[in-house]
């Protein structure tokens, strides 16, 4: 994407009522929406997050299928989720918002027990050992997710990385968390939830074209 296109999207994001782009300082110093997300949506519906939402395809698809829930996509690359934010406005999907920020700040953005469910879709597996701290299902990230999730809140990991799938399963079992569902090839093995197989991102469709299996884990965190 050219710099002019990026700049145009950044500027357009500034005008979108469903996009929030705080500075790191604003997030860390008593972020205004922390604990008050229901006032942003003007309802008391459950709140679901998609972390690393990319273009927002999954966030949008889930929001359309579940108007009884609010959805928030988070990504540091605003030029990407511009597409999802614009689609939500054009199609009048009012249960969607996007935040441009780092995922490691999640416990500054949301209050304890404020979130009902979290989706992580096709994250960078960060395969090298020295990149473990950046892996979105490592122990430190799981603790942050547990902090913002309500009691009994669920996590979903959908990935094309067999490494990420295996790493996460091993960590969950090792730390005593509850694996509700695990599938190492959601389109060939039966039993995957409909929302896992009925929605495909742009990159997911590319993975499928070359025969790459898509894996999925649904789990609860026990601390």
Residue the block writes with tokens 């990026």: 6
Residue 173 confidence (pLDDT): 97
Q: Measure the CA–CA gap between 98 and 81, rounded to whole angstroms.
A: 7
The DSSP string of 113-152 is T-EEEEEEES-----SGGGGGG-TTSHHHHHHHHHHEEEE
Provide the annotated active-site residues.
124
What's the average pLDDT block by block, 10 residues per block, for the chain (223 residues)?
77 91 95 96 97 95 97 94 95 97 97 98 94 95 98 97 97 98 94 90 89 96 93
Provide the residue ranges of all domains of the chain, joining segments of one domain with +. Answer: 3-220
Cβ atoms of 199 and 124 closer than 8 Å: no
- Please tell me the distance from the alpha carbon of residue 68 to that of residue 206, in angstroms, as a whole number: 31
Fold of 3-220: Rossmann fold (3.40.50)
Query: What pTM value is reported for the model?
Result: 0.95
Residue 1: what pLDDT? 57
* pLDDT for position 2: 64
- pLDDT for 120 equals 97
Q: Is the separation of the CB atoms in 118 and 43 below 8 Å?
A: no
Crossing angle for the helix pair 78-90 and 3-13, nearest 10 degrees?
50
């Amino acid at each position: 994407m050219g710099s002019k296109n990026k700049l145009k999207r950044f500027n357009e994001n500034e005008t979108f009522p469903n996009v929030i782009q705080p500075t790191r300082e604003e997030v860390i110093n008593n972020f205004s929406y922390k604990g008050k997300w229901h006032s942003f949506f003007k309802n008391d519906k459950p709140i679901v997050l998609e972390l690393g939402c990319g273009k927002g395809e999954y966030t949008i698809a889930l929001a359309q299928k579940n108007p009884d829930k609010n959805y928030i996509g988070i990504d540091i690359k605003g030029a990407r989720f511009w597409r999802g934010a614009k689609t939500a406005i054009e199609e009048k999907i009012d249960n969607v918002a996007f935040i441009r920020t780092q995922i490691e700040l999640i416990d500054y953005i949301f209050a304890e027990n404020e979130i009902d469910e979290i989706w992580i879709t096709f994250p960078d597996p960060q395969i090298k050992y020295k990149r473990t701290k950046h892996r979105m299902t490592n122990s430190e990230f799981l603790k942050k997710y547990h902090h913002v999730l309500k009691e009994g809140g669920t996590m979903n990991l959908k990935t094309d990385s067999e490494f990420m799938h295996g790493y996460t399963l091993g960590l969950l079992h090792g730390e005593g968390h509850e694996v509700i569902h695990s599938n190492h090839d959601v389109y060939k093995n039966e039993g995957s939830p409909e929302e896992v197989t009925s929605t495909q991102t742009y990159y997911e469709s590319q993975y499928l074209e070359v025969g790459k299996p898509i894996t999925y884990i649904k789990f609860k965190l026990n601390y």
